[in-house]
Amino acid sequence: MYDFLRFLPRYLPDLGFKSYVFMLEKPEGCGIIIKADSPEDLRKKLRNVRRKAIVGVVGSEAVCREAVMRRRVDLILDWEERELDYATLKLAAEKDVAIELGLSKFLRTEGYKRMHLFDKLRQEIMIIKKLEVPFIVTTAAENQYELRTRKQVESFFKFFGAEITKARYYAERLVRRYFDDKYIMDGFEVESLLDSE
């Protein structure tokens, strides 16, 4: 399983993940975060993305709905204020845009706000299962203190009903789409002559 981080750590302990994807606003990592205020702003920023990298979007409900309709967007990132309605999740399933379920927002909130996030997560997972929306579970850590082990992340989301095997599959598929030269699409890979003999 891969973890999607929002920072470049100096030292990264072994937390049980296969590897890490660094989602940064500056295109230095394997992923790019696009923060948009409006759908028009999103379209403008997507035109400027030239690198072959995983593109994640953060924004309002309207921005997320626009993002799932864009071919260049791979992932709707998780944050405290994210709102996803049924129509957006249905579009994400049709357009093969993954939804991130992140642990760090629960670490940064407390009290009633955290309880509201728990309820929202439970509802999102129910809809994700019903519509078979691609999703990934991550720490979504923005600093060293929000890092957690793979087992902790998986146990947390499994408690709310997430199918962890599917989350692993979607995360690996997303990473392979950009960083595995042999990967073409699900079920198709380039096989060298030496491998077949």
For residues 28 and 8, is the Cβ–Cβ distance under 8 A?
A: yes
Contacts of 107 (CB under 8 A, 6+ apart): 146
Q: Phi-psi region for residue 132, left (φ > 0), alpha (ψ -120 to 50) or beta?
A: left
- 142-156 pLDDT per residue, tens: 999 999 999 999 999
Helix (H) or strand (E) holding 138: strand 135-138
Could you give the CA distance from residue 40 to residue 158 in angstroms, rounded to a whole number? 37
| 2-196 to CATH, choices 1.10.287.110, 3.30.70.890, 3.20.20.140, 3.50.50.60 | 3.20.20.140
Contacts of 96 (CB under 8 A, 6+ apart): 134
Write the burial class of residue 40 (CB in 10 Å: 0-12 exposed, 13-18 middle, 19+ buried).
exposed
This model's pTM is above 0.85: yes
- 174-189 pLDDT per residue, tens: 998 888 877 777 777 7
Sign (positive or negative) of CA dihedral 103, 107, 109, 111: positive
For the cut 70, the answer to whether the pLDDT of residue 77 exceeds it is yes
Q: Give the pLDDT confidence score for residue 61 in this predicted structure.
A: 95
Tell me the two tokens of residue 54.
């995983």
Could you give the CA distance from residue 148 to residue 16 in angstroms, rounded to a whole number? 9
Length of the chain: 197
- 7-50 pLDDT per residue, tens: 999 888 899 999 999 999 887 768 999 999 999 999 999 998 87
